[in-house]
Amino acid sequence: MPLVAHSDLPAFRHLREQGHEILPLDRALHQDIRELHIGFLNMMPDAALQATERQFIRLVGGCNRIAQFYVYPFSLPGLPRSDDALQYIERYYSRFEDLRGEGLDALIITGANVANPALDKEPFWDPLIEVVSWAQDNVTSILCSCLATHALLKHFHGIERQPLPEKRWGVYRHRLSTPAHPLLREINTRFDAPHSRYNDISRQQLEAAGLTVLAESPEGGVHMAASPDQFRIIYFQGHPEYDINSLLKEYKREVKRFLAGELEGPPPFPENYFSDEAAELARKHVDAAAKSPGAAERIVDTLEKDIEPLLDNTWGDTARAIVNNWLGLVYKFTDLDRKKQFMPGIDPQKPL
């Protein structure tokens, strides 16, 4: 499934440079191939805005069905943004009002940073619910990541996330809970996935609301669940989109907080992520930075450069396979004439 570079979004250039197939718009327009138009609601903070954009677009482009993918990033008012980020969004992102008028086949919603324990008190809550309410009736399927999962579960099912005793971050081994589900076709029964969050929604909460738990970890919790109709809404608590160095960058930010006096001690390592060699190297760098405040920034940057070659990505293939299955279902249930209508009658007991 080639991605179509239908705009000047820098992600298309970055992915092309990394060897991904990116189809120029003029060439795409001359091919008689089905199109899928996917909205990408990016609520991530400025520091992760473009990285998250590339990660999800790469996942979409990694699928292997014959279709052309048009991905439309957009964001919401109410999210704190720098002037640079606002200018970037103004230049490269779509407006929800335009997408609503033109229609979409599927929607991806990212996580976000929050300041309030109650999600419905966040300034972006009402704009988010406006998007979700429209998508519920006009988009074939919605895929949610992390905070978006918690927000939609609260909105649709009244489920309240529960604070964890400490941040859950690392790479965790998961097992399929419902192997016969159409989203999990040809997926390994055991696989890794990254998590990074302070709150959790449990299997018990999900099942009490009639949702299907698809994959979970004894240490990481539920990774993936689906709405009762099997694929209208897909919920991830984990981060299948993460790059090999995403958790490393989070660790680096925590180290900087420690060096700035915001933490009492050095941050813990993300679980099951650093090898013994990487962990020892990280300790040496953090200790050196703490002892040499004038050189701390340089040492922390060197930490990232030195540790990244020692990391392993053990989740990417599974993430691509799941997204491939998801988009295969979107492809199957999207009308050939591209009508943007909700398709009733999906029987949760009938295989898709």
Supply the residues annotated as catalytic.
146, 239, 241
Distance CA 21, CA 82 (A): 32
Residue pair 17/9 in contact by the 8 Å Cβ criterion: no
Residue 123 φ/ψ, nearest 5 degrees: -65, -20
The answer to whether 104 and 138 have CB atoms below 8 angstroms apart is yes
**Single-letter amino acid code for the residue at 112:** A
Q: What is the dihedral of CA 192, 196, 201, 204, to 10 degrees?
A: 30
Task: Specify the length of the chain in residues.
Answer: 352
User: 125-134, long-range: CB within 8 Å, 24+ apart, which pairs?
Assistant: 125/78, 125/151, 126/78, 127/76, 127/77, 127/78, 128/41, 128/43, 128/76, 129/155, 130/96, 131/41, 131/76, 131/96, 131/107, 134/100
Scan for tokens 């489920």, then name that residue. Answer: 159
